[in-house]
Amino acid sequence: MNKETKGMLIGFIGILIFSLTLPVSKIAVLSFDPYFIAFGRATLAGSVALAYLLYKKEIMPSKADFAKFVVIALGVIFGFPIFTTIAMVEGSSSHGAVILGMMPLASTVIGVIRFKERPSLGFWLVSLLGAGLVVVYALLKSSGDFTYIDGLLVVGGICACVGYVEGGELSRKMNPRSVISWALVISLPVNIVMSYVTFNTQYIYAGPTAWSCFLYLSLFSMFIGFFFWYEGLAVGGIARVSQVQLTQPFCTLVVASILLGDSLTIMNLVFAFLVVYTVVLGKRMLVKRA
């Protein structure tokens, strides 16, 4: 198995974990304020990350890398959770999943600009095809209109891509587990304060389902999922492995149908097949690294 295939398989495990994020968030916002969910889950994940770093006796990151961790934190610890959780207050997790299907193309563009990856023309065409399929699907599902919820999801998706690319590159020289752990620990003071500010004593009585969703968002969506995702990006390359994200919307659709009772239609399945096929095509395209 070559590195690119290995990276895609490892990354896909991370995508499966991330696929539950929107449906689980949709359940959580029924009981918690979206800002508490965003900051609270980062606080719990950061506490676990701190324990992990102490247990592993990881050395402090260099000053040169500190800015990179800040970028990662702004992208995947603050930006993505805040915007997407707010969107889930009124939006549908199924619709949100499809909008976020444009993230692979955004990750590729950011990777090209930031780290001089040079995808072939064929790779760009396949990426645009995959993104185009997602756009067509979104328009068909929403009668041709984009709403402010779509805007929140797009901004959140871009934030995530920035954090993905920066973290994936940093994982080439560091343990991927340490990358997300340090990003969480660096942002922990802010998250602790904001969790306190947004906490309501009524949340104590939210019930086991709500708190189980909160725990999943904290430990899996914000921590363990990145173990696999960052390692996959580091092993297989950002441009290549980011295409695995094209499967995330349809994994989320399946989860939403199970957890929320959202209908899984023929159109969903057809677009799922077409998008997954673009991943297969993209894998065959040459990606050069400057």
Angle at 77 between CA 46 and CA 11, to 5 degrees: 95
Q: Rounded to whole angstroms, what are the CA distances from 142 to 128, 153, 263?
A: 21, 14, 15
The confidence score (pLDDT) of residue 290 equals: 46
* Distances in whole angstroms, Cα of residue 39 to Cα of each of 140, 183, 217, 224, 225: 34, 14, 11, 17, 18
- Mean pLDDT value across the chain: 86
2: left (phi over 0), alpha (psi -120 to 50) or beta: beta
In this predicted structure, what is the pLDDT of residue 174?
Answer: 86
Q: How far apart are CA 288 and CA 92, in angstroms?
A: 38
pLDDT for the residue 253: 82
Q: What pLDDT, on a 0 to 100 scale, did the predictor assign at position 143?
A: 61
Residues in contact with 82: Cβ distance below 8 Å, sequence separation at least 6, in sequence order: 34, 35, 38, 156
Confidence (pTM): 0.85
Cα gap 92→179, rounded to integer Å: 31
Confidence (pLDDT) at 45: 97
Extract the runs of DSSP E, i.e. beta strands, from 200-264. none
* Predicted confidence (pLDDT) per residue in 237-260, tens digit: 877 787 788 788 778 888 888 888
Residues of the chain with pLDDT under 70: 117, 138, 141-146, 264, 279-280, 282-290
